[in-house]
Amino acid sequence: MVYLDHAATSPMLPEVLEAYIAAATAGGNASSLHCSGRKARRLVEESRERVAAVLGARPGEVVFTAGGTESDNLAVKGIYWGRRDQGHTRVLASAVEHKAVIDAVEWLERHEGAEVTWLDVDGLGRVHPEALEAALGPDVALATVMWANNEVGTVQPVAELAAVARAAGVPLHTDAVQAIGQLPVDFTASGAAALTLTGHKLGGPTGVGALLLDRDVQCTPLLHGGGQERDVRSGTLDVAGIVAFARAVELAGARQEIFATELAVLRDEMIDRIRDAVPCALLNGDPADRLPANVHFSFPGCEGDALLMLLDAQGIECSTGSACSAGVAQPSHVLMAMGADSARARSSLRFSLGHGSTKTDIDALVAALPTAVERARRAGKIRR
């Protein structure tokens, strides 16, 4: 199989698996006071320090969670609740956010009385600082704009956006799940008040991640219980998962520059060869300022889900650019926000590279793609 879906999840690295097994066999609850508990706590705190060092944060700003979705929900809901009593009842969010953010924002609107302002993006999927500035006001609880888009790969000007928000006294949350490991990410330098990351995009374990949270930002917990993680996130800590997660973050930081350079070469070759193989294919996202591992095309006349399955039958694993609900393909909300029509938004595929990706993968994709596109077009005409 040719795996071109690293943006969904990336296989665990051998060094990470080794760290996980070593911690998992040690045992101990990090909240216990006996010797095994103290050893487990030490592993957690050392992991916290390693994550903080890689990402330019203070150890006390690292809150371990069960992954990106929990971190996004904790940031969006928690910061909103923490500031609502001071009259801050409006949330600003970009129209191209991950569903974990969009659904959290819409839940606050439906159930908690939040007012929501969706920030427009340009044709490349970028939020301009001027758009954020125009939307700010004394009633804003928080703004949330992802560091890099999970579908089309466009990189946002996070530092500029955070500076605009900070000048207005508004905390900015950024989902950096796709950015870490591919781009230089420094929490303090970015000016963001909260930052989401997860392990399984980095060759780490699934089910563990973190929220980097500025100590001065009020955040009401979603979970209540033992008060672990500075009373922001209760729950017995997954010591082995945290140790493995920290190792994955450490490796991602150490290898980021070389990794990004190598992947960008493969990405650019893939873009050129897809265009040669399928001349009508349309590249989505910023052609230059995009994630080094991201390639996202629309294929006119095709349904993205049909094309995905035709490629899968030939051993090529990728992702549709549209969200699927109950087996019914929906137009990509990201492409729609960028101004694409419904047909283009339904015809997209994302090919994402990662550790282990090679030129041979591109060869296999390009060999399979023209026939798959032609068959998908014929199938679309029959359905119509």
Catalytic residues: 324
- Going by C-alpha positions, the residue among 12, 66, 51 that lies closest to residue 356 is 12
Q: Which amino acid is at 129?
A: P
Q: How far apart are CA 84 and CA 118, in angstroms?
A: 19
Cβ-contact 219, 79 below 8 angstroms: yes
Backbone angles phi, psi at 209, to 5 degrees: -160, -160
Residue-wise DSSP of 138-162: TTEEEEE--SB-TTT-BBP-HHHHH
Q: State which H helix or E strand residue 270 sits in.
A: helix 239-277
The DSSP bridge partners found for residue 324 are: 329
Q: Which two tokens stand for residue 100?
A: 């974990």
C-alpha to C-alpha distance for 359 and 263, rounded to whole angstroms: 10
Angle between helices 359-383 and 239-277 (to 10 degrees): 70
CB 373 within 8 A of CB 311: no
- Backbone phi and psi for residue 222, each to the nearest 5 degrees, phi listed first: -85, -35
CA angle in degrees (0–180, nearest 5) for 187-246-97:
50
> How many Å is the Cα radius of gyration of the chain?
21
Cβ pair 147, 175 in contact under 8 A = yes
**Is residue 328 packed enough to be buried (19+ CB in 10 Å), middle (13-18) or exposed (0-12)?**
exposed
